[in-house]
Amino acid sequence: MEKILTTGLILFLTLCLDVPGTDGRKEEANVENAQKRPSRSSDAKGGRCSYTFIVPQQKLTGALCLNTQSAATNRSEVAELRVELRRQQEQLEKLRGQLEQEGALSVEIRALRKESNSMNSRIAQLYAQLLHEVIQKKDQALEQQRVENLLLNATTQALQVSSNYRELEKKYGALTSMMSSQNQFIARLEKQCQCSATHSTHLSSVVTSEPPKSSSNVHPNYSSEAKEITNDVQRDQSAPPPKQGKAGGVPSLPTTTDNTPTGPPFISFPVTKTPGPWRDCQHVLESGETTSGIYLLHLQSANRLVQAWCEQSQAQGGWTVIQRRQDGSVNFFRNWEQYKQGFGNLDGEYWLGLEHLYWLTKQAQYKLRVALEDWQGRQVFAEYDSFHLELESDWYRLRLGQYHGTAGDSLSWHNNKAFTTLDRDKDGYTGNCAHYQKGGWWYHMCAHSNLNGVWYRGGHYRSRYQDGVYWAEFHGGSYSLKRVSMMVKPR
């Protein structure tokens, strides 16, 4: 039986077809009847047909049934399928469009990434360059700091040398004053002596015996301490000697420092009727001296000697000049100690000194006169009926009285203000007014007058700050005056 199955297997496949109009029952044909029937048979009544397939060399068991009835075509489903197909095509087109857009965006993103990479490389290059410049500037700052330290050390040494030089000038001035007083005393004795031999012998005995005694008579307030106290205001070596007045002058005393170019020359004093020294220039005028020039003053309240220029030709004379500007030959941008002791040339530009000015105005009630002249030759003045300074402990604070004059009042704004220099900031401004105004003054916030500023030629000047020699009520702060002088006199 197995051999027969292996050689050929006859399968009976019964196809059951559902014929419309029947009761839908399916009858199963008998295998035996199927073998008796021909290979294809059909029953009209039952609507059944049967096929016999011979599948060689197949090991199959059971029967295979296939419904060969053609299904009726459904138009609505076909329409729905077409609609669905169209919708899917539209979606496909949309997706294709989106894909194209995303492709363009992708290309743009690639370009942006490439540009970003180039920018990053450029930034890295700039950062490296900036770092190199910062390191270079740091090295330059260190070098500048080193140079500044060297300059500071040199400035300190220069100040020390200047201080030593000032001490020598003080001693030199004391000797000059003493020798000048002795010269004047000898000249007075020579006028009183006779020309005979007997009188000459008598004069020589008087000269050898009298000077110590007469010195104490002429200078009752002169002491050994006063010999060592004087100001360092001297005439500049390069300046010509002062012109002698009508009364003539005593020639300069011989000196042993002719070969020393740094030593100041002796001051030639006018011939006077009395040897002096005097309290102030008003005392000089009252003594009968009407010639303007350099006189030796003895400040009695401090028992010190000081040289000053006496102005006897302006406003009835008797004025002690405490400050003068006329040609820009002296630098007034000084420190506190220099403004305290005084500086400059007695027959030119000079500053008498705050300490000397304090003791001078302490002797009596003084008034102040400020004389101004512009570059067109116009002369004006400002007077204040009282003037004095406070102690150094109060920074030489200015005390002024009422104003009258033709120049306008540009100093009352500075009344009751402390004196300020580059190294002593006592003004009311957040910065240092002396730094901006290039001088020392009784600054407020900062100045309506700046007579110790920079002397500019020609009047109107250009500067970053108002640092000229100006009087605000007379031509304003941007006009540097030609001549300026400050003078005091007892009321």
Question: How is the chain split into domains, by residue range?
Answer: 86-185, 281-490
What's the CATH fold of domain 281-490? Gamma Fibrinogen; Chain A, domain 1 (3.90.215)
Each residue's pLDDT tens digit, 161-195: 877 887 787 777 778 777 777 777 777 677 777 54
Residue 12 pLDDT: 43
Confidence at 399, pLDDT banded by 50, 70, 90: very high
Q: What pLDDT does residue 362 have? A: 93
Q: Is the pLDDT of residue 32 over 80?
A: no
Tokens representing 114 are 């490439």
d(CA 178, CA 387): 31
| Average pLDDT of the residues in 368-386 | 96
DSSP state of 393: G
**Does 309 or 239 have the greater pLDDT score?**
309
What is the CB neighbour count within 10 angstroms for residue 353? 23
pLDDT surpassing 70 at residue 63:
no
What is residue 348's predicted lDDT score, i.e. its pLDDT? 93
- Model pLDDT, residue 273: 64
Q: Which residue has the higher pLDDT, 27 or 77?
A: 77
The percent of residues in the chain predicted with pLDDT above 70, rounded, is 67
Q: Which residue(s) pair with 370 in the sheet?
A: 382, 486
Reading the block at residue 28, the tokens are: 């199963």
Among 23-27, 262-266, 379-383, 428-432, the range with the most confident prediction by mean pLDDT is 379-383
Residue 151 pLDDT grade (very low, low, confident, very high; cuts 50, 70, 90): confident
Positive/negative CA dihedral, 453, 459, 465, 466: positive
The pair of three-digit structure tokens given for residue 177, joined into one six-digit string: 């004053």
Neighbours of 22 (CB within 10 A): 13
Percent of the chain with pLDDT over 90: 43
Say what the pLDDT of residue 10 is. Answer: 47
Q: What pLDDT band is residue 302 in, cutting at 50, 70 and 90? A: confident
| Cα gap 186→395, rounded to integer Å | 43
Sequence-distant (6+) residues with CB within 8 A of 64 are: 11, 13
Residue 30 has pLDDT above 80, yes or no: no
With 80 as the cut, is the pLDDT of residue 318 above it?
yes
**pLDDT computed for residue 230 by the predictor:** 40
Residue 193 per-residue DSSP state: S
pLDDT number for residue 363: 92
Output the pLDDT for position 57.
59
Tokens of 216: 């104490």
| Closest CA relative to residue 388, chosen from 257, 481, 315, 490 | 490
Query: What integer pLDDT is reported at residue 417 of this predicted model?
Result: 95
Please name the helix (run of DSSP H) or strand (run of DSSP E) that holds residue 218, with its range, or none. Answer: helix 211-218
Which of the residue ranges 151-155, 249-253, 389-393 has the most confident prediction, judged by mean pLDDT? 389-393
* Angstrom distance (rounded) from CA 3 to CA 10: 13
**Predicted pLDDT at 205:** 38
Averaged pLDDT, 449-455: 96
Taking the C-alpha atoms of residue 194 and residue 191, their distance in angstroms, rounded to an integer, is 8
Segments of 235-365 assigned E as strands: 293-299, 304-311, 319-325, 343-344, 350-351
Calculate mean pLDDT across residues 365-373: 96
Comparing 37-46, 265-274, 287-296, the range with the smallest average pLDDT is 37-46
Element of type H or E holding 49: strand 48-55
Mean pLDDT value of segment 274-303: 88
